Amino acid sequence: MPPIRRYEEIAAHYRRLIQDGELAPGDSLPSLRKVCDDFNVAMGTANRAFQVLKAEGLTEATSEGTVVALRPSVVISGADRLDRLNRTGRRYGPGEDTTGRRVMRRSVYDIEICRALEIEPGDEVVIRIRTFRQDGKPTSVGVSVYPPQTTAEVPELADDAQMERPFGELYTERTGREVTQGQRTAHARQASQDEIDALQLDVPAHMAVAVLVTNVTFHDERGPVGYWEDVYAPGVRVPTA
């Protein structure tokens, strides 16, 4: 892997502050001169970092300088939100909320989920679904699936209420086994009608809609303990790293 260049480090620093809510929509970023002083870089390097953030839709130029975009176009995954929660204690970013939360026990037959969780088709799992919104507009549908061995240790997962703490934290606390996150992958597929409805997509009946899907599996030393999937509304940007 090639070394990270200085402008990439600077862009990553401010990107993280924006995603964590430390810099809210409309907030000003430091002047280029201050960035040069803070990071000990040349003006061209600082300017290149700011151009990266602008190209990603995270910032915009105004007569007063560079500010965080009022409606950032980047939508992060559930796993990224978990990382943000662990870092900052914040469940949501600026302008973000959820709606349509559902919790259910179901027999699962999806081959990809069965393979990820190492269960047999027809096994019962707990599924938690919610729609994420930015400024009231749906941006993604988050689905988390938990096998019996996980819900036995964290029965709160089967409750309708919002979890007060991350499932992995509770699981590790009760079992002594650390939960780790696997590699996040992405693919495109046709959206289901439920997903079209949740994302409030205005399309003719029976029209196929392509959506981007990312997924990740969580493990402990004995095997898989959870599977998360995010389905993104057409047109949103999703960070890949």
DSSP annotation string for 125-142: EEEEEEEEEETTEEEEEE
Verify that 82 and 33 share a domain, yes or no.
Answer: no
Average the pLDDT over 22-49 and give the result.
94
| Residue where a domain stops, chosen among 68, 99, 116 | 68
Domain of residue 20, CATH code: 1.10.10.10
Verify that 30 and 143 share a domain, yes or no.
Answer: no
Is residue 89 included in any domain, yes or no? yes
Structure tokens at 78: 């559930």
Instruction: Please report the pLDDT score of residue 46 as a whole number.
Output: 95
Average the pLDDT over 105-128 and give the result.
96
Verify that 88 and 37 share a domain, yes or no.
Answer: no
Place 40 in a pLDDT band, splitting at 50, 70 and 90.
Answer: very high
Verify that 191 and 155 share a domain, yes or no.
Answer: yes
| Residue where a domain stops, chosen among 38, 68, 98 | 68
Is residue 237 included in any domain, yes or no? no
What is the amino acid identity at position 140?
A: S
Verify that 94 and 19 share a domain, yes or no.
Answer: no
Verify that 108 and 193 share a domain, yes or no.
Answer: yes
CA proximity to 74, closest of 96, 89, 91, 48: 96
Domain of residue 181, CATH code: 3.40.1410.10
Is residue 186 included in any domain, yes or no? yes
Verify that 107 and 215 share a domain, yes or no.
Answer: yes
Place 39 in a pLDDT band, splitting at 50, 70 and 90.
Answer: very high
**Which domain range does residue 224 map to?**
78-232
Taking only the tens place, the pLDDT of each residue in 144-189 is 999 999 999 999 999 998 898 999 999 999 999 999 999 999 999 9
DSSP annotation string for the chain: -PPPPHHHHHHHHHHHHHHHTSS-TTPBPPPHHHHHHHHT--HHHHHHHHHHHHHTTSEEEETTEEEE-SS--B---HHHHHHHHHHHS-SS-TTEEEEEEEEEEEE---HHHHHHHT--TT-EEEEEEEEEEETTEEEEEEEEEE-HHHHHH-GGGGSSSPPSS-HHHHHHHHHS---EE---EEEEEEPPHHHHHHTT----TT---EEEEEEEEEEETTEEEEEEEEEEPTT-B----
Verify that 82 and 199 share a domain, yes or no.
Answer: yes
Verify that 123 and 167 share a domain, yes or no.
Answer: yes
CA of residue 158 relative to chain centroid, distance: 22
Torsion of Cα atoms, 39 then 30 then 241 then 69, to 10°: -170
pTM of the predicted protein model:
0.82
Verify that 91 and 60 share a domain, yes or no.
Answer: no
Is residue 152 included in any domain, yes or no? yes
Average the pLDDT over 11-30 and give the result.
90
d(CA 144, CA 103): 10
Is residue 238 included in any domain, yes or no? no
Query: Which position has the token pair 């007060």?
Result: 164
115 Ramachandran zone, left/alpha/beta (phi>0; psi -120 to 50) = alpha
Is residue 148 included in any domain, yes or no? yes
Q: Which residues contact 234 (CB under 8 A, 6 or more apart)?
A: 201, 209, 210, 211
Verify that 83 and 201 share a domain, yes or no.
Answer: yes
Given a cut of 70, whether residue 105 has pLDDT beyond it is yes
Taking only the tens place, the pLDDT of each residue in 87-96 is 888 888 878 8
Q: Are 216 and 181 in contact (CB under 8 A)?
A: yes
Verify that 89 and 158 share a domain, yes or no.
Answer: yes
Average the pLDDT over 45-60 and give the result.
92
Is residue 202 included in any domain, yes or no? yes
Domain count within the chain: 2
